[in-house]
Structure 1
Amino acid sequence: MRYENIKPDNTTLLMILRASSAVVSSCKIGELFHCQILKLGFGFDLFLQTGLLDFYSKVGDLGSAKLLFDEMSERDVVACNELFDRMGSLRNTVTWNTMISGYVQQKEFGRAISAFQLMQVEKMKPTVETMVSLLSACAHLGALDMGNWIHAYIRRKNIKSDVYLGNALVDMYCKCGCLESALDVFHGLSSKNVFCWSSIIVGLGMHGYGKEAIDAFVEMTKDGMKPDRVIFIGLLSGCSHSGLVSEGRHYFSQMLGVYGVQPGIEHYGCMVDLLGRYGFLAEALELIWSMPMTPNAVVWGSLLRACQIHKDTKLSEQVTKHLLELDPFDGGNYVFLSNIYASVNRWNDVETCRKVMADRGICKIPGCSSIEVGNVVHEFLAGDASHPQFIQITKFLDEVVKKLRRMGHKPDMEYVLHDINEEEKEASIRYHSEKIAVAFGLMSTPEGKSIRVVKNLRACGDCHSFMKLISKLFDRLIIVRDRNRFHHFRDGSCSCKDYW
């Protein structure tokens, strides 16, 4: 092939590499082949990098394997496992840290925590970098119990804390719904960089404390810290979640002139969300058309959500056209439009949306909710009955629904996208994933213990009403993190003041 001056592609190289790793025992040949891969311009091909990692591991050249792993542009789970398994008795703190950080980068957060638990069994001492990666995993999972354990471990083992570890703790507590602990850690930091301020401002905004986010912003600027783009996203988002329209307008107008931060498309998206939520749909649309950049799907999506809240069917149809031009295969856009049609009983239009989705092979993203009980994260997927306690959970949930009905609660059928009878509608919304997760939490935790649930989608109105009543019925604090914000349900009311 080389004599004929034919350049091999990455698929050919991968086949040769796999064949060589099965029969060749010399690392010298592997190094020569590695050089050829680099010369041919495939040095950053993930599949070839993983194949080389496998080759070096099999011939026992773990030094080259580790070096290659560190240089990989992307680290997938296969690469992490390959390096880790081959290291065997040579595994050290650096290896463990590399693997844990690799899992986190690949969003395999559960694997990262499991790896840390194995690390404890092998009596390996973690580094600050290990702790930062683990806290990031806990933050994404909403695993507060594990996050608390790691924080206690840091104190117990006297692991030297720096500003990055402190920021990781603040971020973890914010994203796990424990704002009080986040503030305690934040105020206890001896020094704060822009990332620490960003974490606390974003956290306050996510929890609906817009005024407190503004106070933190003012305090930060008084300390001489210059805000960046991320901080303004958190600030404007906090204004949106708290209905602080005039404050949001004020800070948005000052971004460039006062703070020297050029508003980006994310900031325009926050303002569209803020104006739309409060009912200023025409102003939000005007802002979109005045943007110095082309509006993306996120910006149009914010306006579509506002149309759903305020039941503006005409504008929602216009917005959906723009969204479908940008991303015709995003099922969420069709679902939003269907929700709006269903709310005004336009069932033929709902059916049209469903038919278009079916014809194009577009699927609705299923609701998925998770809850941590006893340091184990349990995940519940809409329509999935695979959890070992699913039957007990649904029986418990059925009893809860009966109690709520006796209290006068009626399910909100507006969120059912089918023209069916009332009984069928009620059944279709009873087993939403967050309801199942909360029911499991009520069954599995002591009385009085707070329940924390993480949901991948925006909470629907019926589930929101359900959580308020459950918090009062069982006298529990229920914290739900959906894709937009945190909801703290206590004694029959929500921290969002029904504004989400």
Structure 2
Amino acid sequence: MPNATHLSLNITKLCREACLKEALHILTTYNLPVKYSTYLHLLQANIDKKAISEGKQIYSHNGDVCTFTPQTFLQNTLINMYAKCGNLVDAHKVFNHMTQPDIFSWNMIIAAYKRHGFPQDALKLFQQMQQTVVQPDHFTFSCIISLCASVASLNHGLKVHGKTVRCGFQSHVIVMNTLIDMYAKCGRMQKARELFAKMPNADVVSWNAMITGYAQDGFVEKALEVFKQMQLGIVKSNAATFACVLPACVKMGVLGQGMEIHEDIIERGLLSDVVVVTALIDMYAKCESVEKAQVLFDKMTERNVVSWNAMISGYVENGLVDKAFEFFKQMQLAGVKVNSATFAIMLPACAKMRSLEHGTQIHQNIMKSGFLSEVVLNALLNMYSKCGKIQTAQKLFDKMPQRNVVSWNAMVTGYALNGNLKESLSLFKEMPQRNVVTWNAMITGHAQNGLTEKALEFFKQMHLAGVKPNLATFASVLPACAQMGAFEQGMEIHQKIIESRCLSDVVVNALIDMYAKCGSIHKAHQLFNKRHHPGIISWNTMIAGYAMHGYSKEAVKLFEILEHSGTSPDHISFICVLFACSHGGLVHYGCKFFNCMSDSYGITPTIDHYVCMVDLLGRAGYLMETLNFIIKMPTKPDAVVWKCLLGVCRSYKHLSLGEYVVTLLFELEPKEAAPYVLLSNIYAEAGMWVDTQKVRKLIKNSRIKKVPGCSWIEGHKMLHAFCVGDRLHP
């Protein structure tokens, strides 16, 4: 019969070879006490195989035949085994039976509850721990602080921070890093910055936490600034740093800086890291350089589902849904197993492009693969709603076994997008619970359907309901203020933004636009000048603001600064600067910019650019040249182009050309009132009253309705709407 030492060696060897069944057979057959370390090997083997019943058997054997095994350590291992096998009930039972749980026992049970998504239970355990003699260590604090970060519980986080100071952990780098992360995720970047500045031994994790914090909170300029500071210091960036900073380049749309970072990655020899290369692919694709993203993807020796998803997402971002769908099929042929994230990328793509055909095919794929999770179902609701199939979305919604707030929000938003605000409001009132997204849907829905007063009213109701607005709220409500010229309300919202620490890039751009459209170009200019690295949207908004207020030369000057800033102008930039040139009579500059669109930037002019050029040439009095320009257009001119020329004919009293243009417009838009009204005005200004009456009679007999004009006046913090023919205001 073998002795205990021989048994221990054999069992340990079998455990290392992952032969758990054979090891257990030897243990139970001879029923001899084995070495303490052997029990640990057995339990670790159970953890690896998630074999709970065998673990119980081992622990029972130890209690029956051994009297010398340190029970606390063994119980800790058992807690660890149960926790990693997902059995929190038995893990807690073992913990409760411990006579003297040590710091490892507390850390394991707290970490187990945190890992399995029970944050409140983990916090309660931490409170119980503080009533014992066991003092928390750096692991305990890191675990609890990261838990506060994951649920964005600032109050708990502040209390734990105080405890770390009292326990002397205010300089512990791991604890400080988790505190920085917690404050960042709770929207307190100023506090995170203060802690970071006081750290005597900040490491790469500290720097990464600051970069990620700024980027996630919408302060992407700050994120890039911190990255640059890091490059100048002694702490070397790692793969995680690049994975943190590249998304900031995406949000800023600064391809130049992204390319510089790419060069750093090459120098560091990190192009073999799948996470880093995936982040590069994502950056290039979302910065409108999908070809470079494809080259990187093709060169990858190792690809995972995230890499494929990044490429698909890139094609989606660039509006190439057909290519994204093709790539999706290639991914399946390559044997890469799609995940819920793949469908979560594809479905919004179909929704964005209003591609019902692709969306229906994706739905069929989902049914085959069995990925009909709550997240995917909600994405399907969104896709069908945005593709105009609101009834299909409603049927899916009705069949859902469980509906969360996201499901309700998808339907509320869907009805609003389809112009059915009555049904949207009905669902809004019916909702069991609402969140900030719900309120945002109502604000955006009413604003996009032209009911800007109602949108502002919902914003006020949201405030009264105690719901804290977020970045999306401000990005939705500011355009409503801009559209109505509600300057005072816009300023009040600006103050709320400052108080809420929501001055992200999107919100700052919306503020610049609001101030410009409300007549305060000076305030818009101040906000723009405070931006260290303005993105293309900021440039476009400011150029448009100058153009709107007649500062054509300033708009042209700003456009020329943009050209030398490292950020390339896009098609909207050219619309803004051409609009400025047309309203300022800057024909030479306008023609120059129009020509350099395709010659210097490879941008094909759209119908909007042609309309700007028609307006530019027409306003300058070159009417026949304008007509020739329209005739030579590579695409068929639409009604907007001809309306623009008709407006110019009226300004220059060119009767014959005006009549010719109107005949074309009658064919294109026979029920549109504007051409008739303009022709009537041309006749009236030429003193041709008989013809004027004929046109007006034609409008009346054809039952063509002119949309009544509407304006708003703000006074005493109230907004009053005045429409033609109303009798609401004396």
TM-score by length of 1: 0.65
CA positional deviation for 1:375: 2.9
The answer to whether residue 434 in structure 2 is matched with residue 91 in structure 1 is yes
Aligned residue for 1:145, secondary structure, equals: helix
- Give 5+ residue unaligned stretches, structure 2: 1-373
Partner residue in 2 for 1:108: 451
In structure 2, the residue corresponding to 1:256 is in which secondary structure? helix
Structure 2 residue 707 is matched with structure 1 residue 370: no
> Which one-letter code corresponds to 2:630 in the other structure?
I
Residue of 118, 141, 157 corresponding to 2:484: 141
Contact 1:56–1:62, Cα closer than 8 Å, also in 2: no
Which residue number corresponds to residue 298 of structure 1?
Answer: 640
Secondary structure at the residue paired with 2:711?
A: strand
Q: Which residue of 1 aligns with 2:675?
A: 333
Code of the residue aligned with 1:84 in structure 2: it is F
Aligned counterparts, 1:38-53, within 5 A: 44-45=387-388, 48=391
Could you say what secondary structure the match of 1:369 adopts?
A: strand
- Name the residue aligned to 1:224: 566
Matches of 2:458 and 2:392, distance apart in 1 = 23
**Which residue is 1:78 aligned to?**
422
Task: Describe the superposition over 1:91-129 as per-residue Cα deviations: whole angstroms up to 9, x where unpaired.
Answer: 222322233233333332222211111121122211111
- Shift in alpha-carbon separation, 1:269–1:342, aligned structure 2, 3 A: same
Task: Identify which of 579, 582, 587 aligns with 1:240.
Answer: 582
Tell me the residue number matched to 2:518: 176
Task: Give, in whole Å, the separation in 2 of the partners of 1:327 and 1:321.
Answer: 10
Shift of the 257–187 alpha-carbon distance from structure 1 to 2, 3 Å rule, reads same
- Pairwise CA distance, 1:207: 1.1
Q: Which amino acid aligns with 1:178?
A: S
CA-to-partner distance for each residue in 1:470-496, whole Å, 9 max, x for gaps? xxxxxxxxxxxxxxxxxxxxxxxxxxx
Q: Distance in 2 between matches of 1:51 and 1:140?
A: 32
**Deviation for aligned residue 1:64:** 3.7
Shift of 1:303: 0.9
Q: Report the Cα distance in structure 1 between the residues aligned to 2:645 and 2:409, rounded to whole angstroms.
A: 48
- For the residue of structure 2 that corresponds to 1:219, the secondary structure is helix
**CA-to-aligned-CA distance 1:187-244 (integer Å, 9 cap, x gap):** 1123311111111111111111111111111111111111111111111111111111
Give the match for residue 489 of structure 1.
Answer: none
State which structure, 1 or 2, has the greater radius of gyration over its C-alpha atoms: 2
Q: How does 1:141-290 map to 2 (within 5 A)?
A: 141-157=484-500, 159-290=501-632
1:44 positional shift:
4.7
Task: Give the match for residue 470 of structure 2.
Answer: 127
Find 1:357's aligned residue among 699, 704, 707: 699
TM-score using structure 2 length = 0.45
- Structure 1 gap segments, 5+ residues each: 1-30, 391-500
**Which of 434, 448, 461 is matched with 1:118 structurally?**
461
* Pairing partner for 1:66 from 385, 409, 412: 409
Distance 2:395 2:485 in 1: 36
Separation (CA, whole Å) in 2 of partners of 1:42 and 1:128: 24
Q: Could you say what the CA RMSD is over the residues aligned between the two structures, in angstroms?
A: 2.9
Structure 1 residue 165 displacement after superposition = 1.0
Shift of 1:42: 9.6
Distance 1:53 1:290 in 2: 50
Aligned to 1:372, the other structure's residue is in SS state strand
Q: Percent identity?
A: 38
Q: How does 1:383-398 map to 2 (within 5 A)?
A: 383-387=725-729, 390=730
Secondary structure of 1:257 counterpart: helix
- Aligned partner of residue 467 in structure 2, secondary structure: coil
Q: Separation in 1 of the partners of 2:721 and 2:396?
A: 33
User: CA separation of 1:49/1:196 partners in 2, compared to 1, >3 Å: closer, same or farther?
Assistant: farther
**Does the 8 Å contact 2:482/2:517 carry over to 1?**
yes
Amino acid at match of 1:303: L
Distance in 2 (alpha carbons) for counterparts of 1:247 and 1:289: 22
Q: As a proportion of its length, which structure holds more helix?
A: 2
Measure, in 2, the Cα distance between the counterparts of 1:239 and 1:99: 38
- Gap change, CA 1:143 and 1:315, over 3 Å in 2: same
Q: Is the 1:233–1:266 Cα contact (8 Å) retained in structure 2? A: yes
Distance 1:64 1:160 in 2: 26
Whether contact under 8 Å (2:597, 2:605) holds in the other structure is yes
Residues 354 and 265 (structure 1), Cα distance of their counterparts in 2 relative to 1, 3 Å cut: same
Instruction: For CA contacts below 8 A with separation 6 or more, give which structure has more relative contact order.
Output: 1
Task: Give a deviation string over 1:59-91, Cα, whole Å, max 9, x none.
Answer: 987564334446679254234313321235x22
Equivalent-residue separation in structure 1 for 2:422 and 2:399 (angstroms): 15
Question: What do residues 334-361 of structure 1 show as CA deviations (whole Å, max 9, x unaligned)?
Answer: 1111111111111111111112212211
Deviation at 1:56, TM superposition (A): 8.3
Judged with a 3 Å threshold, the aligned counterparts in structure 2 of structure 1 residues 67 and 47 are, in CA distance, closer, same or farther, namely closer
Give the Cα separation in 2 of the matches to 1:69 and 1:380.
30
* Counterpart-to-counterpart distance in 1, 2:549 and 2:480: 20
- Cα pair distance change 1:86/1:56, threshold 3 Å: farther
Offset of 1:43 from its aligned partner?
Answer: 9.4
Structure 1 residue identity aligned to 2:568: K
C-alpha distance in 1, partners of 2:447/2:396? Answer: 19
Equivalent AA in structure 2 for residue 82 of structure 1: S
Alpha-carbon distance, 1:314 to partner: 1.1
What amino acid is aligned across from residue 516 of structure 2 in structure 1?
C
Q: What is the one-letter code of the residue matched to 1:371? A: I
Give the match for residue 449 of structure 1: none
Give the Cα–Cα distance (whole angstroms) in 2 for the partners of residues 72 and 262 of structure 1. 35
CA contact (8 A) 2:394 2:411 kept: no
Check conservation: 2:385, 2:393, Cα contact below 8 A.
no
Alignment counterpart, residue 651 of structure 2, candidates 303, 309, 324:
309
Counterpart code for 1:131: F
Kept in 1: contact 2:649–2:658 (CA 8 A)? yes
State the AA in 2 paired with 1:127. Answer: N
CA distance in 1, matches of 2:457, 2:617: 44
Per the alignment, residue 156 of structure 2 pairs with none
CA contact (8 A) 2:408 2:431 kept: no
* Kept after mapping to 1: 8 A contact 2:412/2:425: no
Query: CA separation of 1:191/1:374 partners in 2, compared to 1, >3 Å: closer, same or farther?
Result: farther
**How far off its partner does 1:245 sit?**
1.3
Instruction: Indicate how the Cα distance of structure 1 residues 170 and 53 shifts in structure 2: closer, same or farther if over 3 A, else same.
Output: farther
For residues 56 and 314 of structure 1, what CA distance do their matches in structure 2 show?
63
What secondary structure sits across from 2:601 in the alignment?
coil
- Cα gap change, 1:69/1:268 in structure 2, threshold over 3 Å: closer, same or farther? same
What one-letter code is carried by the residue in structure 1 that aligns with 2:481?
Answer: C
- SS of corresponding position for 1:371: strand
Question: Which whole-Å deviations, capped at 9, do the CAs of 1:304-348 have from their partners, x for residues lacking one?
Answer: 111111111111111111111111111110111111111111111
Where 1:255 maps in the other structure, the secondary structure is helix
